[in-house]
Chain A
Amino acid sequence: MSINLQALFAQLLVGLINGSFYALLSLGLAVIFGMLNIINFAHGALYMMGAFAAYFLLNVLGIGYWWALIIAPLAVGLFGIILERTMLQWIAQLDHLYGLLLTFGLGLIIQGVFQNYFGSSGLPYAIPDELKGGVNLGFMFLPIYRGWVVVFSLVVCLATWYLIERTRLGANLRAATENPTLVRAFGINVPRMITLTYGLGVGLAALAGVLSAPINQVRPLMGADLIIVVFAVVVIGGMGSIMGSIITGFALGIVEGLTKYFYPEASNTVVFVLMVLVLLIKPSGLTGRTA
């Protein structure tokens, strides 16, 4: 079969874009799971809130995309902190299942509230002027905004990795993931660290939401559609590793893109097929520590 390079690269780019969102979201899930032992099923709804925050900032307050990139993650992160303080902290000692049910319920409520006011159709969010248009790379046409999303997500992911794996603060975080009781007995305020970690994970989801707004439109169900794939990504990558979730996120986006080109019928299921294979061969995930 002859290969249409133009179409192949186009699908690869779509894959990379999706991979950026997978990476940002699964990274946040991994960070939250590490510290809180909670599989945050509200993640998709919080991602959607990030996109809506950008929409409101623009249409209510007239604050544009660049400020939204900062303000939306902070605002939604703060909302996450309130969720952690008022609800999640009380179930920290219980079985995973309680966190799963609570966050799943929270996700449904948040989504339901937005659906009630905005229905299920998408609200438009324009690409900022600075990132409009595209460049012809010779082998393909690259819309600038899409290139920006991939590069910026990669930078944010790597910065988060650096923060956790290479700094003093990150060392506290890693230690508290391993043995919170002892870290606290050294004089570190672990409960506060847990709260801020949840805020960080939620902020990353909201950031992905802002990035996604100009590409996917702003819809109450945008997170629900995406998060199912993200959980499969997380299962494949394993929960324990920061770099693992970043790499798996991007890699599976690319795999999806390639599948769309070579065998489009399977493009929606390929990630789940991989998930099944990984679960059969290495249940803790490709990079996961056994939990």
Chain B
Amino acid sequence: MVETMTTASDAAAATPSAQPAGDVVLSVQNLQAWYGESHILHGIDFEVRAGEVVTLLGRNGAGKTTTLKSIMGIIPKRSGSIRFEGKDISRASSDKIARQGVAICPEERGIFASLDVRENLMLPPQVRPGGLSLEQIFELFPNLKERLKSQGTKLSGGEQQMLAIARILRTGARFLMLDEPTEGLAPVIIQQIGHTIQRLKNEGFTILLVEQNFRFAATMADRYYIVEHGKIIDGFANSELSANMDKLHSYLGV
């Protein structure tokens, strides 16, 4: 099933030219969102295909995190179309969206202080068969196995990030949204998380990544979208990265 883009003119530029891999898993059209009275997203259009790693790039406050939260149903005031595996989820509550097979690893990591590591790991219920077993998770993140009895928030920042990723791998969701998984972490930990995401990609997970650090994203992303002022203003495939370097620098202001 391939959906045609029928969106506003500014999104036409965002359609990447590289030939995408699989069917459209997520299709977002004219997504608008509000925090109370303030209008944050002004019409986001993009899509993610099965098996892809798609990265949303953009400055702080551009609307990347809000985009993920809107897809997850965490932001109640939203409009536009969000289709996941062909079903419209733009009006569903977040627990229903999670049960469709969408999983989020939030920017603030969301490790629970009143739960130990094992409880944190076991918290998200299985939404589909075929999630990773505990053995597979401990193979990916050996540190966690040593710390099962620790209070969740007693872990180091890197371990908390691993735990935040690990717990959504158990659920059987095949579409993962990772919000700045490298934020505030040491280079060696960033590398480990990079390997993990690469591996998840190889195993067929579809990943929507939000990153400030595009050098990190470049090691695994298939495509990029640039978010600015609550809109997607550009998009290109990883193969076009070097050709778009100047543009990218001006978008991100680096």
Contacts and interface: CB of A to CB of B under 8 A. Distances in A.
Query: A and B from one assembly?
Result: yes
Interface of A: 168, 171-172, 174-175, 177-179, 181-190
Contact of A184 (B94, B106, B119): B94
Nearest to B173: A187
Contacts of B98: 184-187
A219 B223 CA distance: 71
23 contacts: A171-B123, A174-B112, A174-B115, A174-B119, A175-B112, A175-B123, A179-B110, A179-B112, A182-B106, A182-B110, A185-B72, A185-B98, A185-B106, A186-B98, A186-B123, A186-B125, A186-B168, A187-B95, A187-B124, A187-B127, A187-B171, A188-B95, A188-B125
Contacts of B97: 185
Interface string B99-117: 1000110100010111100
* A175, A181, A185, most chain B CB atoms within 10 A: A185
B95 A177 contact: no
A190 B119 CA distance: 17
> Does more than half of chain A's interface fall in helix, strand or loop, or is it mixed?
helix
Given A171-B122, A171-B123, A187 B99 contact: yes
A185 B95 contact: yes
A175 B74 CA distance: 16
A111 B132 CA distance: 54
B73 A185 contact: yes
A186 B124 contact: yes
B93 interface: yes
Contacts of A185: 72-74, 94-95, 97-98, 104, 106
Nearest to A178: B112
Nearest to A166: B119
Contacts of B112: 174-175, 178-179
Nearest to B126: A187
Nearest to A164: B114
Contact of B93 (A171, A174, A184): A184
Contacts of B73: 185
Contacts of B124: 186-188
A239 to B, nearest CB: 14
A177 B119 CA distance: 14
**Centre residue among A179, A184, A190 by max chain B CB count within 10 A:** A184
A168 B171 CA distance: 15
Chain B interface residue number, banded: 20 to 34
A182 B72 CA distance: 10
A169 to B, nearest CB: 11
Contacts of B110: 179, 182
The 5 closest A-B pairs by CB, nearest first: A187-B98, A186-B124, A171-B119, A174-B114, A185-B94
A190 B125 CA distance: 13
Given A175-B115, A175-B119, A187-B127, 18 more contacts: A171-B115, A171-B119, A171-B122, A171-B123, A172-B123, A174-B119, A175-B123, A178-B112, A181-B94, A182-B110, A183-B123, A184-B95, A185-B104, A185-B106, A186-B168, A186-B171, A187-B95, A187-B125
A145 B95 CA distance: 47
Nearest to B124: A186
B220 to A, nearest CB: 24
A172 B115 CA distance: 9
Contacts of A190: 95
Most buried by A among B94, B99, B106, B122: B94
A185 B103 CA distance: 8
A178 B114 contact: yes
Contacts of B119: 168, 171, 174-175
A174 B120 CA distance: 11
Interface string B160-188: 00000000100100000000000000000
Nearest to B164: A182
Contacts of A172: 123
Contacts of B93: 184
A177 B112 CA distance: 10
Given A187-B99, A189-B95, A181 B74 contact: yes
B100 to A, nearest CB: 9
A53 B72 CA distance: 44
Nearest to A34: B114
B175 to A, nearest CB: 13
A174 B95 CA distance: 17
A182 B179 CA distance: 13
B57 to A, nearest CB: 23
Contacts of B123: 171-172, 175, 183, 186
Residue with the greatest number of chain A CB neighbours at <10 A, chosen from B74, B114, B119 = B114
Nearest to B97: A185
Interface in B122-137: 122-125, 127
A159 to B, nearest CB: 19
A69 B163 CA distance: 43
A228 to B, nearest CB: 30
